[in-house]
Chain A
Amino acid sequence: MLGKEKPSGVSLSEETSFFALWSGGTPKKGALDMGSFAQAVHRLLAGDPELWEIVLLSLRVSAEALLIGGLFGVPLGAFLGLKRFFGRRLVIALLYTGMGLPPVVVGLLVYLLLSRSGPLGFLGWLFTPRAMVFAQTLICLPVIVGFTMAAVLGVDPALRQQLRALGATAWQSTWAVVREARTGIVVALVAGFGSIISEVGAVMLVGGNIQGSTRVLTTAIVLETRQGRFDTALALGLVLLLLAFAINGFVLVLQGRSVER
């Protein structure tokens, strides 16, 4: 079982669980056995229900955070790229700081907000996937806003004037400019996703790494490493990498030929 020292007298179903069978069921502390790593990968591909639960929760939490972050971040980034207003430079400076915000700090802030005595404590979200989505949204938002802004700024400013001259309303020309920046906006979303699928600090703090409830790939890796099961940790790391590769590959296919120019 993932994250539990194997107790004596476990039931058969627990005994046959993928993680329980790891390294013959007994964790080898402080050593990495490549044979057991290969075995782990093999079993991993065969499918362990607990592993897939963790993978699905990782995907669900990060996908929801990305969706919310994208819904707010893309329009906000486009606005910053297109509009000039008083204080814009300050907003951009804050944004750049936000892009480098340590997830653990975000986790701490969200923890304080959601804790029982915090301003949002009444929601009862702490140690639930909702708290993790909340924290990850805050982490990916500045990344999405920043990259979207850069993508929109990369579109020739004269194009907007040309579109107006062709009879486009302000909204129509804005939409066309955002459409021109779409390759960069996809990059913004990919970068946003990358910033949260791989983070551990925030989800650990606000989720609590509770088995069957808030355990995700990164927190599972931390746990396995702490308990000396390096091969399990490595195999989980491999799953995380494969996941990121598969998703980014899919995005690249979606982008199609526009990146090959």
Chain B
Amino acid sequence: MTPRGEEVFRLEGVRKRYGGREVLRIDQLSIFAGEIFGLVGPSGAGKSTLLRLLNFLEPPTAGCILYRGQPLDGRVPPQLLRGITTVFQRPLLLSGSVAYNIAFGLRLRGERNPGPKVEQMLRRVGLSELARAAIHTLSGGEAQRVALARALVLEPDVLLLDEPTANLDPYHVSLIESIVCQENRERGTSVVWVTHNVFQARRVAHRVGLLIGGELVEVSETHRFFERPEDPRAAAFVRGEMAY
């Protein structure tokens, strides 16, 4: 069943151009509180661009993005921004210890004693023993768990995931999926999960959107997306017949 809370994001007539090339063209899209929205599509479809817009890391070239009903064109209040965070495909950790990395966002928010929250988060992602380990000694899966912990410790309202499991082994893929789904269930965190992997989208998402050439060709409930896709391109994508 799809949780359908209030609208967290509403995109209206959003366009993004780099140079003269339009990479994103979304007429209308809503993301709701408490849902996991799976965003699938071939490489270069504009999935990562859309996430950057949702995290207000870049402004749209045209159109409007409303966050909790507020249009956020131009200057974005930092307090609002801090409710949204992204975990990227690469962990992008800072040199230092695991604990230092997880505490980073808390310190930015003026938290004087991030220790207890960091410890709790380390337990949650199963890295308690590596708290003091230097990040260059971690495996790819451990590093990505640290990146996820660094985001979750901020207790975000919106978690944006840009293919965070693309380079990981099946154990870590399943571990990260279960941590994110638990976060979504227990805290009602809204998640936009970009993935190449249609099976992953099917496992974790409440709704799925297919982005091709910068356009959303199908957005529907997960079971419907996979069982009765309306757009022929979505049907081809689900059947694995789309070459990309």
Contacts and interface: CB of A to CB of B under 8 A. Distances in A.
Interface of A: 156, 158-159, 161-162, 164-169, 172, 176, 179-180, 258, 261
Please indicate which of the listed interface residues A162, A164, A165, A169 has the most CB atoms of chain B within 10 Å of its own CB: A165
B92 interface: yes
27 contacts: A158-B88, A159-B92, A161-B52, A161-B88, A162-B86, A162-B88, A164-B57, A165-B57, A165-B84, A165-B85, A165-B86, A165-B88, A165-B160, A166-B85, A166-B105, A166-B108, A166-B150, A166-B154, A167-B85, A167-B105, A167-B108, A167-B109, A168-B108, A172-B108, A176-B94, A176-B104, A258-B95
Contacts of B154: 166-167
Interface centre among A159, A166, A258 (most CB of B within 10 A): A166
Contact of A180 (B55, B95, B105): B95
A166 B90 CA distance: 15
Contacts of A162: 86, 88, 92
Contacts, number: 47
A244 to B, nearest CB: 28
A176 B57 CA distance: 17
Q: Chain B contact residues (Cβ within 8 angstroms of A): what range?
A: 20 to 34
B92 A158 contact: yes
Contacts of A176: 94, 104
Q: Which of A156, A161, A176 has the most CB of B within 10 A?
A: A161
Nearest to B104: A166
A180 B108 contact: no
B81 interface: yes
A169 B107 CA distance: 12
Nearest to A183: B95
Interface in B91-124: 92, 94-95, 104-105, 108-109
B136 A261 contact: yes
A176 B107 CA distance: 12
**A-B residue pairs, 8 tightest by C-beta:** A165-B86, A162-B92, A167-B82, A166-B105, A159-B92, A165-B55, A167-B108, A165-B85
Interface string B28-60: 000000000000000000000000100101000
Contacts of A161: 52, 57, 88
A162 B151 CA distance: 10
A108 B104 CA distance: 49
Contacts of B109: 167
Contacts of B94: 159, 176, 179-180
Contacts of A258: 95
B20 interface: no
Contacts of A179: 94
Contact of B92 (A156, A168, A169): A156
Contacts of A180: 94-95
A66 B235 CA distance: 65
A77 B92 CA distance: 23
B74 interface: no
B232 interface: no
Nearest to B150: A166
A167 B76 CA distance: 12
Contacts of A167: 78, 81-82, 85, 105, 108-109, 154
Contacts of A164: 55, 57
Nearest to A179: B94
Given A165-B57, A166-B105, 9 more contacts: A161-B57, A162-B88, A165-B85, A165-B88, A166-B151, A166-B154, A167-B78, A167-B154, A179-B94
Contacts of B55: 164-165
Contacts of A169: 78
Contacts of A158: 88, 90, 92
